[in-house]
């Protein structure tokens, strides 16, 4: 029996994709070798990779003047690569400190250059976001950086700022392809794939090509986005297994209604959980209603003892990953694309029953 997996990442994958990986692991579609044994310069890989990139582009209608590729190093390496490339001496970049992940990115950027903190959610304990219309880049900014969904705090931008000539850069690790996104608003979107797109190992990068004109040209090879763009991500060996799995997840998303279909499911799944919270005096959401995440629902019980009990008892029902991040405590249900609708419904039913017994 497969568990109901509410983990924040690595996280649940579509079972059809896991089966497809298993079926083709030893002999990839009769080619006589595994995808993970094939050269990344050879036909077997490149055929899969080209199709993967084409599906990736088609799901979000990514315009032609954007490069798309995968890198290693996790989303965390991007916290460094972005300022190394684009935060030039004598200039500064705007950051929105909205929680754990944006804050880490800002901290890394500060080691590299001048950072202007446009917003800091510290006073609300990172439970709210600014109104996108109120966010204006500062004069002469190299770029404006935000995180679209704070995986740990459970807050998600419902709409994005408009930044004019200042490039907008977004970490979308934990809500990418859970909804349609107008890519043309952004100069760069990136994210680790292990939340919503596949197994750990790869980071996707979507970057408007002309952003490269403004980069620092004196970087070592791997740190230089231009090297990766020119070689469509094959400057060095890419994370082959992870990309293969992502390619199958993309086909699964296409077959299940694309980004619109994912959004519809995300609204329904998170609705189950938020409805229980909103109709209860037992559970509470620490997060401002206007920016509740559909991917990571963070909630509390009246006491920490009850939260520990909730985790223990949910495990007995086959539900895993419901403990909140150690930095914030509480409970968290991650409801990524691949989480079956029934699992969200089961969690909602469990929550009601737990309240009945303990409320």
Strands 168-171 and 141-147: parallel
**Are 334 and 11 a contacting pair, CB within 8 Å?**
yes
Which residue has the CB atom at the shortest distance from ligand PLP?
Answer: 74
74 interacts with ligand PLP by CB under 6 A:
yes
Length of the chain: 359
CA 310 to CA 303: how far, in whole Å?
Answer: 11
Q: How near is the Cβ of 152 to ligand PLP at its closest, in Å?
A: 8
Is 275 tagged catalytic? no
Tell me whether residue 213 is one of the annotated catalytic residues: no
Cα–Cα dist 249/56, whole Å: 10
Nearest approach, Cβ of residue 316 and ligand PLP (Å)? 28
Cα angle vertex 343, ends 287, 18, to 5°? Answer: 115
Q: Judged by CB, which is closer to ligand PLP: 151, or 178?
A: 151
* Separation CA 282–CA 213 (nearest Å): 54
CB closer to ligand PLP out of 13 and 44? 13
Residue 304, judged by CB atoms within 10 A of its CB (0-12, 13-18, 19+), counts as exposed
Q: In the complex, what is the shortest distance from the CB of residue 150 to ligand PLP, in angstroms, rounded to a whole number?
A: 7
Residue closer to ligand PLP (CB basis): 28 or 149 = 149
Residue entry with tokens 């990986």: 21
Using CB under 6 A as the criterion, what x/- string covers residues 76-115 for binding ligand PLP? Answer: x------------------------x--------------
Residue listed under structure tokens 């909602």: 348
Question: Distance between CA 72 and CA 58 in Å, rounded?
Answer: 23
Name the minimum Å distance from CB 28 to ligand PLP. Answer: 26
Q: What are the residues whose beta carbons fall under 8 Å from the beta carbon of 121, sequence distance 6 or more? A: 97, 98, 99, 127, 128, 129
Q: Helices in 1-143 by DSSP H: which ranges?
A: 15-24, 43-60, 74-86, 100-110
Binding to ligand PLP by CB under 6 A, coded x per residue (else -) over 149-178, reads --x-------------------x-xx----
| Nearest to 149, CA basis, from 109, 192, 115 | 192
41 is in an annotated binding site: yes
Nearest CA among 98, 213, 215, 230 for reference residue 153: 98
* Catalytic-role residue among 97, 195, 269, 323: 195
Question: For ligand PLP, which is the closer residue by CB, 141 or 174?
Answer: 174
Chain centroid offset of residue 248 CA: 17
Binding-site residue total for ligand PLP (CB under 6 A)?
A: 12
Of 171, 175, 224, 343, the catalytic one is 171
Binding to ligand PLP by residue 195, rule CB under 6 A?
yes
Contact, 270 vs 292, CB < 8 A? yes
Q: How far is the CB of 174 from ligand PLP (least distance, A)?
A: 4
> Do residues 119 and 148 lie in contact, with contact meaning Cβ atoms separated by under 8 Å?
no
Query: What is the x/- site pattern for ligand PLP, positions 34-73, by CB under 6 A?
Result: ----------------------------------------
CB of 336 to ligand PLP, least distance (A): 11
Is 195 tagged catalytic?
yes
Among 118, 147, 301, 348, indicate the residue that binds ligand PLP (CB under 6 A): 147
Question: What is the H or E stretch that residue 347 is in?
Answer: helix 341-358
List, as residue ranges, the binding site for pyridoxal 5'-phosphate: 75-76, 101, 151, 171, 194, 236-237
Enumerate the known binding-site residues.
Answer: 41, 75-76, 101, 151, 171, 194, 236-237
Known binding site for L-glutamate: residues? Answer: 41
Binding site for ligand PLP (CB under 6 A): 9, 74-76, 101, 147, 151, 171, 173-174, 192, 195
Catalytically annotated residues: 101, 171, 195
């Amino acid at each position: 029996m497969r568990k109901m997996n509410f983990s924040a990442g690595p996280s649940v994958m579509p079972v059809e994709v896991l089966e497809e990986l298993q079926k083709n692991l030893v002999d990839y579609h009769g080619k006589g070798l595994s995808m993970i044994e094939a050269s990344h310069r050879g036909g077997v890989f490149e055929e899969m990779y080209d199709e993967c990139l084409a599906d990736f582009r088609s799901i979000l209608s990514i315009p032609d003047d954007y490069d798309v590729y995968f890198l290693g190093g996790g989303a965390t390496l991007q916290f460094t690569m972005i300022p190394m490339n684009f935060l030039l001496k004598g200039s500064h970049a705007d950051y929105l400190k909205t929680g754990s992940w944006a804050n880490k990115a800002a901290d890394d950027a500060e080691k590299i250059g001048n950072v202007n903190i446009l917003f800091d959610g510290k006073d609300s304990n990172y439970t709210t976001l600014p109104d996108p219309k109120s966010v204006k880049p500062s004069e002469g900014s190299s770029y404006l950086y935000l995180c679209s969904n704070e995986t740990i705090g459970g807050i998600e931008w419902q709409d994005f700022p408009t930044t004019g000539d200042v490039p907008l850069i977004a970490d979308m690790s934990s809500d990418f392809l859970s909804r349609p996104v107008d890519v043309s608003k952004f100069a760069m979107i990136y994210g680790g794939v292990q939340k919503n797109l596949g197994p750990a190992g790869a980071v996707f990068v979507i970057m408007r090509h002309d952003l490269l004109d403004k980069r620092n040209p004196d970087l070592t090879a791997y740190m230089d986005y231009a090297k990766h763009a020119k070689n469509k991500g094959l400057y060095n060996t890419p994370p082959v297994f992870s990309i293969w799995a992502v390619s199958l997840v993309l086909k699964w998303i296409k077959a299940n209604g694309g980004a619109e279909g994912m959004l519809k499911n995300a609204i329904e799944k998170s609705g189950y959980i938020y409805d229980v919270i909103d109709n209860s005096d037992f559970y509470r959401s620490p997060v401002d209603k206007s920016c509740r995440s559909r991917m990571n629902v963070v909630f509390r019980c009246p006491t920490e003892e009850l939260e520990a009990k909730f985790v223990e008892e949910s495990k007995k029902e086959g539900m895993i990953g419901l403990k909140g991040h150690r930095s914030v405590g509480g409970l968290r249900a991650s409801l990524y694309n691949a989480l079956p609708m029934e699992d969200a419904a089961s969690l909602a039913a469990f929550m009601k029953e737990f309240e009945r017994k303990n409320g």
